[in-house]
Amino acid sequence: MSTRRVVITGLGALTPIGNNVESYWKGLITGESGADSITHFDATKFKTRFACELKDFDILNFLDRKEARKLDPYVHYALVSSDEGIEDAGLNESDLDVDRTGVIWASGIGGLKTFYDEVTAFASGDGTPRFNPFFIPKMILDLAAGHISMRHGYRGPNFATVSACASSTHALIDATNYIRMDKADVIVAGGSEAAVNQAGIGGFNAMKALSERNDAPETASRPFDLDRDGFVLGEGAGCVVLEELGHAQKRGAKIYAEIAGGGMSADAHHITAPHPEGLGAQNVMLNALADSNMESPEIDYINVHGTSTPLGDVSEVKAIQNVFGDHAFNLNISSTKSMTGHLLGAAGAIETIACTLALVNDEVPPTINHFTDDPQFDPKLDFTFNQAQKREVRAALSNTFGFGGHNASIIVKKFVE
């Protein structure tokens, strides 16, 4: 079946190392760590007392106080990053059929702070149910997509995807397929997460998923390092504006890159642990290559899931070597989570942005915080440790894997008419 081509025409980012796309990319290339002591709440009694929080961010610079109070932070982040992406794409009503312009927006958890605050207030009261009337609309996962569409008047496909840490990659794949199948011309896609709160840190601590390197938080996220001890929780959002090629060309839009394709798979193994041989990761990359009609040697860079967990990093590398064979040694591999932390449902969006900018700039962001080689990894593999590398990047693959065994990979490539 012939399908329509899908290109990227706008980007928006709100991350722990930069509050817009320009500063985010600068932070990536200079190897900036976004990790520091938690300021959102008193974390003194928690096993992990640090995270990758947003810096110098005030929603009142974007929304009035009355409106902001009706929204959970994960929606705040979604609105800010999508506004940047829409402006960057130059979308305006005269260029668009709003009935064919959609929003597919992801979150792994949604309004966790709202849920925590409301239930805590109820539990500490006299038992009388005095809940905020906005409790449910602030909390549920689909409301970011809803608010973006209402803010801009987009009446096309509108929903949320949720697959834990693979959520926003699934959003991008769904958006790509809706445009390919002529169900929409433009889709604002991405994800946002705001889980740096008592429930988020406490819950992941209970799972023993987080690093506890409280004495040196800036070096705590150590993908592929021998002494890695868990991931660092991050927050923020990423927006990728996807558009049918002819539609973009007709309105004279700038084109960052083309979406080659995407893959999806399941581990069918464990609720949190990856398949030990990386079977699901292997299948999802093969599916992405097949959907893109590409061969493995055409990929130059992989932005890995690479969360800095003892098991996850090993299984992903096994999968890469199984899929790419000898070409694995020609790849640049990096985990930008070493800098941003893990944005959960927003990870795929900001990491697809990193891949896109690697294509545009022919430069691969590093995996920072590497101190000690892990003998489980072949020393001939290039993890882009500690320093960005200039190289031609024709195509890049982004991996995201979520609790529940959900896997999603997307491939972006340089646009050629």
Residues with a catalytic annotation lie at: 165, 305, 342
Residue 352: how many other CB atoms lie within 10 Å: 30
- Whole-angstrom distance, CA of residue 320 vs CA of residue 3: 28
Q: Residue 21's closest CA among 377, 357, 374?
A: 357
Q: What is the number of residues in the chain?
A: 417
Alpha-carbon distances, residue 234 vs 60, 177, 213, 304, 402 (angstroms) = 21, 29, 15, 16, 15
Helix axes 73-89, 143-152, angle to 10 degrees: 40
DSSP label at residue 60: G
- Whole-angstrom distance, CA of residue 294 vs CA of residue 302: 14
Q: Residue 344's closest CA among 158, 178, 199?
A: 199
Q: Residue 396's closest CA among 312, 309, 285, 236?
A: 285
One-letter amino acid of 101: T
One-letter amino acid of 245: L
- Whole-angstrom distance, CA of residue 307 vs CA of residue 302: 14
Max CA pair span of the chain: 66
54, 80 in Cβ contact below 8 A?
no
- Whole-angstrom distance, CA of residue 134 vs CA of residue 69: 9
Q: Residue 55's closest CA among 230, 218, 231?
A: 218
- Whole-angstrom distance, CA of residue 255 vs CA of residue 411: 16
Alpha-carbon distances, residue 291 vs 177, 179, 183, 327, 385 (angstroms) = 11, 15, 19, 20, 30
